[in-house]
Amino acid sequence: MTQLKKTIGFIGLGVMGKSMAGNLLKAGYEVRVYTRTKEKADEVISQGATWDAAPKEIARKADVIISMVGYPRDVEEIYFGEDGLIEHGREGTYLIDMTTSTPSLAMEIAEKAKKKGMAALDAPVSGGDIGARDAKLTIMVGGESAAFEAVKPIFDQLGSNVVHQGPAGSGQHTKMCNQIAIASNMIGVTEAISYAKKAGLDPERVLQSISSGSAGSWSLSNLVPRMVKGDFEPGFYIKHFIKDMKIALDEAERMGMDAPGLSLSKSLYEDLAEAGEENSGTQALYKHYN
């Protein structure tokens, strides 16, 4: 591997990616960006990022390339497509996919990257728009230890909890653990606050009592205040959460594991998506009860 430099390519500037790219700019990195809709890049371009018209252009210029897109099919296109990173990337490049995707795809990227003299890491995140904005994401990393150590200074500009979980695919498996825990928790916190409202209590006062006790969770402290204010703007899209839960259920089935809590949560969120809420934040589960 060549010596790590400071030119970072960033592909995907959605709710979280935009803040992540901005934090890298603030840290002094040269950042080159690409997203299918150029207007989504206007804010980070105004902060000093350089626009490239295709992934292959970033592949030719960046030493480290981060992708943060929506679905596994988007990851496949970026890495394996005609303009893809594997085909056009340079030897010594570090490829970091921070999309929540499938473990098998992460392993395929790592294998093909290695054949081209590149190193690939799967590094999905948790923390939503707030964590991305405040550079306090949890980052779960799979891949070779040497590559992880080489790019850890970059991870440290994006998150406050960065853990190398093991070989390629391990980051994605860890993210599935995260999503499984959140799935049932979202049902619990939403039902609790809905109960409070129907019992004639002040939901905000109830939150004061239960958020710091044994019922406390990130979702309770950060998403319930949005629920009670009627704020359903996405910190994390329902459509992406459904995608993650489908991946987790597929992996659980492959391992012979039953996941009834996850299955119930997925069905509730699918009902919301069918009702037109797929682009709302996950806190819109509150609408199922009210």
CA angle 72, 76, 78 (to 5 degrees): 115
> What is the spatial distance between Cα 71 and Cα 56, in angstroms, rounded to a whole number?
19
Reported as half-sphere exposure (CB side, CA atoms, 13 A), residue 111 has a value of 7
The yes-or-no verdict on residue 128 having pLDDT over 90 is: no
The model's pLDDT over 95-111, given as tens digits with 9 standing for 90+, comes to 999 999 999 999 999 99
The gap from C-alpha 257 to its chain's centroid, in whole angstroms, comes to 24
Domain borders along the chain are: 7-167, 173-288
Of the candidates 175, 239, 266, 287, the residue annotated as catalytic is: 175
| CB 279, CB 70: distance < 8 Å | no
Which pLDDT belongs to residue 138? 97
Write down the pLDDT at residue 6.
Answer: 81
Neighbouring C-beta atoms of residue 243, cutoff 10 Å? 18
Tell me the per-residue pLDDT of 148-177, one tens digit each, with 9 for 90 and over.
999 999 999 999 999 999 999 999 999 999
Rounded to whole angstroms, how far apart are CA atoms 128 and 238? 12
Q: Does residue 2 have a pLDDT over 70?
A: no
| Residue 98, strand partner residues | none
Residue 290 confidence class, pLDDT cut points 50, 70, 90 = confident
pLDDT at residue 3 is higher than 50: no
Q: Is the pLDDT of residue 211 over 90?
A: yes
51-96: pLDDT as tens digits: 999 999 999 999 999 999 999 999 999 999 998 999 999 999 999 9
Closest CA to 242 of 284, 200, 214: 284
Which residues contact residue 174 at a Cβ distance below 8 angstroms, ignoring those fewer than 6 apart? 124, 140, 142, 163, 165
Rounded average pLDDT over 243-259 = 96
User: What's the CATH number of domain 7-167, 3.40.50.460, 3.40.50.720, 3.40.50.880, 3.40.50.300?
Assistant: 3.40.50.720
pLDDT of residue 201: 98
What's the CA dihedral at 55, 145, 243, 259 to 10 degrees? 170
Work out the mean pLDDT of the chain and round it to a whole number.
95
Q: pLDDT digit string (tens) for 12-25? A: 999 899 999 999 99
Quickly state the pLDDT bin for 261 (edges 50, 70, 90): very high
Q: Which residues contact 128 (CB under 8 A, 6 or more apart)?
A: 15, 16, 222, 235, 236
Check residue 5 and give its pLDDT: 57
Whether 56 is catalytic is no
d(CA 110, CA 171): 12
Q: Whole-prediction pTM value?
A: 0.92
Whether CATH 1.10.1040.10 fits 173-288: yes
Q: Note the maximum CA span of the chain.
A: 64
The set of long-range contacts for 250-254, using a CB threshold of 8 Å and a minimum separation of 24, is: 250/102, 251/102, 251/103, 251/173, 251/176
